[in-house]
Chains A and B, each alone.
Chain A
């Protein structure tokens, strides 16, 4: 083969590869879409064939955060399509863009029929009375295990919750590591430090921290809840902060929470690569016993157990000095959906909620996603025994308090872009708790002023 011929062959191969790869990319998407369309059409025609006389096809739109696109929810949607001829047209949005997109759709009068959110938090993000349908008179409301979690301060229910609570929050730990090293669960801050020193001496990272700023914030949100000590006190602090009667730095207990966390860096308890390591990598280290503890909620247990079936993980209440009331934090967190007030398909949406409130549907949501269901007959899956015991113990004593973030809903858009970044940035820059909160207070003041909130 002469060189001209070789060049031609090489050029043709390159072109074919390039076109092939580009077409491959396009085809992959198209195939998925086509498959979806085909299956959707097939499902549609099947339903139409079997029950078209009784059930007319209705499509409702829904906005969903990417991280909440659980397989269980997909099953519920498929069942709606198969049994009721209701199609839920999901618009799945990356989590960090969700708030903006939701607010933009709502403010431009193009809100979807169904809106996914952590229900207690949505009341801080948008005005429920203006934008969300009042569901207080729906039959399922009477059956809610924990109606307070979805009840707005005006006494109305604007959302349909899947969970009665997200369970307890605290320190997730590797049980095997603790057992192998004869370590008992610490009950005081002194004991906690001793445990960390023991682990450190054995070459195990005592506390894991990823670059994903969700973990340090949960540490602080739990800590501030514990430092408040009760729901009433937490609400009182939040009210004072949100009306600018007080500032963060006016509360020494809040400063202490941040300082306790920052002190752990000085003692070398955290993994050194906390500024770059991913959250998933931290979970893996926890499961493999390379790290012993991680701040978080009960949901992390199922995530670790799901990904690493051999891992023995559990959770204990943070034993820090600021927890003077010996309280336990349970996140005021309940994933669910709201209905848009001006939805032309409101009746269908209400019908969906009716159906979803039955065990037949809701059991699916908890498959592989164990938790505390919002309805009594629903199977919430296998919860970690320690977590259930902890929850029962503190709830019997009435010593459960929410995470502080839950009470400070109005400033939640600031968290991810400022406060949580400060938490990760402070240790390497030698910033103290007081300085950190003072900086955040400036952000809060500017933000609330921008929102024209009275008092700022």
Chain B
């Protein structure tokens, strides 16, 4: 039964849409040289595009996210989108004021084309015949969508982690299309440590016999390997402090089992996260997206791609989190240092947070204030 209060608060219902492009023979040419098409992107929009089409904000999701950034997919939907605390009416990314777009990344499995999609050439899922996509390719696909929506310039591109890499790739590839950028908890090049964790996650999947070299779509699939991969990921998203606070050495049974049953709460938490992930994510997508993150390097060609005159007019808000050891603050500072050389308008804050890498997704008055203030200024000065 609905309580009177929940009847008053009408749910913000968002519709998931699909955009298909790159129909053969005009396939998209990927960074690796392969051709891919047709490509479908699942996307959702919130708020209204203003008459001058100047209030559009693109939100880029992190590695396991999807297009459902905020609100509910239907009236009975219990779970809001992944950034519902940040995006919505009156929230820092205010949908009363801005037009928000979020699409599922190329290579993922939540509505957009990825290794689990049917290959039109064979009528079977791509599996490992799916070409290696990079962050650059994901961003190129997003650009097609943005243009399809009739938007020439984005007021802002916002994202954390792998989403932050997309933000930075937008800056490098399409600086003329963006007014401002908010890269959160991210890096300009994936570190050896980050690659190492990704490789362990991939090996967990590939060592599962049910993975079958990526050809498992007619069978149950490598659920054990995928669960272990997610457990590893979760460890890197937390922090020593967060784990100590959340679990300590507490047991999830009455006494030590003196067996390998899983004694500690932290173990059962990781098992639960692993199991939950298997229900919603494709193992091959994890392989492809982690590889795209590992390939991400804006300093590869000697000298930073971010040192670029085209970025002189772009405003930046760079945010790192003090307990994030996956993309530590020194990496955000390297980004800031490169951007300063362009004469870009750059703000930077290292938010004091104990949550580890995950902190960018957790409710935080500090982060709310930063994003609200920054976007408000950009809108008033350049888009209003």
Is the A/B pair a real complex? no
Residues of B within 8 A of A (CB): none
